[in-house]
Structure 1
Amino acid sequence: MVVRHWGGYVSVDWDCDGDNIEPLLWCLRFLIVDHLPLDYWLSRIFPAIEKRYAGGDPGWEITNVDLDTGDMLYDPSGKIIYRVWIDEDISYLESGVGIYEEAIIKYHVRRTLENFRAIHPPSSSEIDALVLKYGLDYSI
């Protein structure tokens, strides 16, 4: 496994994560940042048992709601699904939409929080609390 820095506190392992992860990685660059409380955006996407939406500049959004019907998104097995959108003109990425199971979102949020912890050790207790609060484990 070769994990590489992607941007902000986000990292990626292309062999494990695959190419279709880029819209999520782009959003994570704006979800976990130095200038906002760590829970600022996380509280807007978790817990997924309720309708959730987060988004902002520069052109990103994460939701577990069908924006046309207002219904929560589920796959056929009943797992919660998130739709991630990024502005392709701003991000310069080819694919502006990603569809991910909740476990994948949580996995990458946790990895991003661990990268944040490595740079900001005083945030460790806050990160530990968020991991427990939102069930952010590494299993996918």
Structure 2
Amino acid sequence: MTVRHWSGYVSIDCECDGNNIEPLLWCLRFLIVDHLPLDYWLSRIFPAIEKRYAGGDPGWEITNVQLDTGDALCDSMGRAIYRVWIDESISYLESGVGFYEEAIVKHHVRRTLENFRAMHPAYSIEIDALVLKYGIYYHAE
């Protein structure tokens, strides 16, 4: 595993995170921050059993999407899917949209929370509670 710092509390594993993960990582820079309660944005995207939305400046949003499977907020396999959008003119990233399974989103949220914990150990109890509350576990590679 080759994890390196990306930005804010976000890190990337270049060997296994795949392509087009940057829109999600960009959003996580604003989702997990030290000037807001950790649950501020997380409560707006989890759980994915109903329509959820988080977003703001500078040009980012995460929402679970309704696919062509009727009214379900999941794919044909029963997995929740999130649509991530970033303003390409602000981020300077090539791709401004990404679609990710809930497990992938939770994997990267968890990694970001663990990076946050390393810098702010006083939040350990709150982070543990959020992991349990929202089922924010690492995705099995």
- Compute the TM-score of the two structures, normalised by the length of structure 1: 0.93
TM-aligned CA deviation for residue 122 of structure 1? 0.3
**Partner secondary structure for residue 104 of structure 1:** helix
Q: Please show how residues 78-117 of structure 1 align to structure 2 within 5 Å.
A: 78-117=78-117
Residue identity (%)? 82
| Distance in 2 between residues matched to 1:126 and 1:23, nearest whole Å | 26
| Distance in 2 between residues matched to 1:53 and 1:72, nearest whole Å | 16
Q: Which runs of 5+ in 1 are unaligned?
A: none
TM-aligned CA deviation for residue 14 of structure 1? 1.3
**Partner secondary structure for residue 99 of structure 2:** strand
More helix by share: 1
Q: Please show how residues 1-140 of structure 1 align to structure 2 within 5 Å.
A: 1-66=1-66, 73-140=73-140
| Distance in 1 between residues matched to 2:126 and 2:74, nearest whole Å | 30
Deviations 1:1-57, CA, capped at 9 Å, x for gaps? 110000000000111001210000000000000100000000000001111000000
- Compute the TM-score of the two structures, normalised by the length of structure 2: 0.93
TM-aligned CA deviation for residue 72 of structure 1? 5.2
| Distance in 1 between residues matched to 2:84 and 2:93, nearest whole Å | 13
Moved over 4 A (4+): none
TM-aligned CA deviation for residue 78 of structure 1? 2.0
Q: Which runs of 5+ in 2 are unaligned?
A: none
| Distance in 1 between residues matched to 2:137 and 2:81, nearest whole Å | 17
